[in-house]
């Protein structure tokens, strides 16, 4: 179950905790906290970090049309990763004494942010985007965003956690996130990740607004090439 303080917060704000149904618990996807398990969780292929093979294997057929990030509808492909910043949460960083298990001690979504996350999920579903996996940082504003997308179960991924207060972790954590992305099965998506501005900037060199993000085609052997997430 979610930590009591966190679950109480999400219930108060109208989030659906049933979305937190399963969790990757491998060395590459560490838990920010325990999450309830489903009776038939997805099969996870666990491989060492030095292994270049995909982490997830699903074998979905690849569309014959070319990959194109100019329209949302073009991103409903198994070889697509969408990486977004959490929805609007006024302020910068978190209080110095914040507790990851207590949402009230963190910077959280406001009413605009909650509506923003829900509208984003509706737009994606209208465009035919239904992610096979939805990963999120353990921070409450990211979990809240992921839940409000209403696009299925979420998994807390440690590589998406904020390092705002621990800038010394930037390079190592970004390298681990890149490794995770490289080994997502390009026939198993689309995938969605919810994280923080500092993480996206470290990964892509770009600044994105709250609720905005970047997309990348998976399965490429060259350096990851991120493009801006279209809004329609």
CATH of domain 4-37+76-228: 3.40.50.1240
Helix (H, G, I), strand (E, B) or coil at 215: strand
Amino acid 53: pLDDT: 55
- The answer for residues whose C-beta is within 8 angstroms of residue 47's C-beta and 6 or more apart is 53, 55, 183
Q: How would you class 16 by CB atoms within 10 Å of its CB: exposed for 0-12, middle for 13-18, buried for 19 or more?
A: exposed
Cβ atoms 196, 137 nearer than 8 A:
yes
Q: Spell out the residues 6+ positions from residue 225 whose beta carbon is closer than 8 angstroms to its own.
A: 216, 217
CB atoms within 10 A of CB 180: 20
Domain boundaries along the sequence of the chain: 4-37+76-228
What is the pLDDT, as a whole number, of residue 65?
65
Sheet of 133-136: strands edge to edge?
155-156, 133-136, 191-195, 80-85, 213-217, 227-228
Neighbours of 154 (CB within 10 A): 25
Instruction: Give the model's pLDDT for residue 59.
Output: 57
Between the two ends of the chain, the Cα-to-Cα distance in Å is: 36
Label the pairing between strands 191-195 and 133-136: parallel
Dihedral sign from CA coordinates of 182, 128, 204, 149:
negative
pLDDT, one tens digit for every residue, the chain (232 residues): 455 555 556 555 655 544 444 333 333 333 333 333 333 333 333 333 445 555 555 556 666 567 788 889 889 999 999 999 999 998 887 778 888 888 888 888 999 999 999 999 999 999 999 999 999 999 999 999 999 999 988 999 999 998 877 767 788 889 999 999 999 999 999 999 999 999 999 999 889 999 999 999 998 877 888 999 998 8
* Cα distance between residue 171 and residue 60, in whole Å: 33
Per the structure block, which two tokens stand in for 211?
């609720």
| DSSP-based three-state secondary structure for 81 | strand
């Amino acid at each position: 179950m979610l930590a009591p303080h966190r679950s109480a917060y999400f219930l108060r704000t109208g989030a659906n905790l049933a979305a937190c149904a399963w969790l990757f618990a491998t060395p590459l996807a560490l838990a920010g906290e325990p999450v309830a398990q489903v009776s038939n969780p997805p099969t996870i292929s666990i491989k060492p970090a030095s292994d270049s093979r995909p982490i997830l294997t699903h074998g979905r057929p690849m569309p014959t049309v070319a990959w194109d990030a100019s329209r949302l509808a073009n991103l409903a492909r198994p070889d697509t990763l969408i990486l977004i910043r959490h929805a609007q949460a006024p302020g910068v960083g978190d209080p110095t004494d914040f507790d990851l298990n207590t949402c009230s001690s963190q910077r959280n979504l406001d009413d605009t942010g909650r509506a923003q996350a829900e509208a984003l999920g509706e737009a994606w579903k209208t465009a035919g985007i239904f992610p096979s996996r939805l990963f999120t940082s353990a921070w409450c504003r990211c979990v809240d965003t992921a839940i409000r997308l209403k696009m299925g179960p979420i998994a807390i991924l440690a590589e998406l956690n904020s390092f705002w207060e621990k800038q010394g972790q930037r390079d190592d954590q970004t390298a681990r996130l890149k490794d995770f992305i490289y080994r997502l099965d390009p026939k198993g998506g689309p995938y969605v990740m919810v994280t923080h501005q500092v993480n996206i900037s470290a990964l892509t060199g770009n600044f994105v607004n709250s609720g905005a993000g970047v997309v990348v085609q998976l399965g490429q052997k060259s350096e990851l090439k991120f493009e801006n997430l279209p809004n329609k």
